[in-house]
Structure 1
Amino acid sequence: MRRKQKSAFNGTNPMMVWWNLAARSAEMLTASAEVVARRSVQMSRMGHSPSARDRSELVGMVTEKVAATQQSATAMFFTASSTAAHAWLTPWWLYNGRGSRKSAAAVTDSAARILTAGMQPYRQRAISNAKRLRKRKTT
């Protein structure tokens, strides 16, 4: 019978949730800087007459920001809603012996969870754009 390994991040340590947020933010910022640099070079090369491929990239920049904003707002709303419900019920659970320190710890790191959920759509796009633009051949 295989035993499930315990991870350092199991949701009970609020500091690990904040560390996860910091690490993901650093990843996103690094990928974003790379994307901005590559797209800036691309825009300077296209000049006043962008090709169809360049126009597609320019339109994609705008639409992906709108989509990421919508996904971010939705993720933050649902995370905040579940956290609020959890925070409201935790004292009752603890009083009746149904809760644990895990449920109390989940309330203390709720801000980091909300921020992580809201950042995730931007992070995913920044990393995927950086990978895609690294592969793109300049013409």
Structure 2
Amino acid sequence: MSTAFFSSSRFFNPFMLWADVAFKTQEMLLYSSFVIQLRTERMARAGLAPSEADLAEMQLMGHEKLAAATESGAAIANQLHSTQFALVHRAVRQWLGGAVAMASLATSTTPAQISTHGRALVGAATRSAATLSQLSSAGARIAQRGLKPIHAKASANAQRLAGPQA
């Protein structure tokens, strides 16, 4: 097989999508740790007598987490509904088509049948590989959509809590 086959965008794209998910996850974790540190220090300084601003910040923490989790869940459900189920259906159909092509090749009795059924099996395998690549891309997009609201909230909080010195 040529290198163009493996470097084509449909086979390379899932890697780039998953790399983006990994980068955004790392960035979100860094923002989150910064926010957790600042909020923990604020709670420790407030002690048993938190100010109105401290109480508002603590209440905001809970609301933000719930809102981000809800938005993330909705984004994941929407992306699953729009892409994943159709791709899984296609993958199962192609798997069954490949099984039929393999059985046809195994039961071939003439060189012409072997040639015809062998080409059908190669075609089925190629279509399955393309679909699996698309399935991986769809999985990465689901992860991206689910991570987006959480990442956005963590980065906004890091900027807001860092104040003017950032």
TM-score of the superposed pair, with normalisation by structure 1: 0.75
Counterpart for residue 115 of structure 1 = 143
Runs of 5+ in structure 1 lacking a partner? 1-9, 93-99
* Number of residue pairs aligned between Structure 1 and Structure 2: 120
Q: Deviations over 1:68-93 (max 9, x none)?
A: 1110110000111111354146879x
**Aligned-partner Cα distance in 2 for 1:31–1:118:** 17
Q: Identity rate of aligned residues, in percent?
A: 31
> Is the radius of gyration larger for structure 1 or structure 2?
2
CA RMSD of aligned residues (A): 2.5
CA contact (8 A) 1:86 1:107 kept: no
Offset of residue 111 of structure 1: 1.8
Counterpart for residue 18 of structure 1 = 18
CA contact (8 A) 1:28 1:123 kept: yes
Moved over 4 A (4+): 89-92
More helix by share: 2
**Aligned-partner Cα distance in 1 for 2:46–2:134:** 50
Q: Which amino acid aligns with 1:55?
A: L
Q: Deviations over 1:42-94 (max 9, x none)?
A: 011111111111111000000011111110110000111111354146879xx
**Aligned-partner Cα distance in 2 for 1:135–1:17:** 33
Counterpart for residue 53 of structure 1 = 53
CA contact (8 A) 2:84 2:139 kept: no
CA contact (8 A) 1:31 1:126 kept: yes
TM-score of the superposed pair, with normalisation by structure 2: 0.64
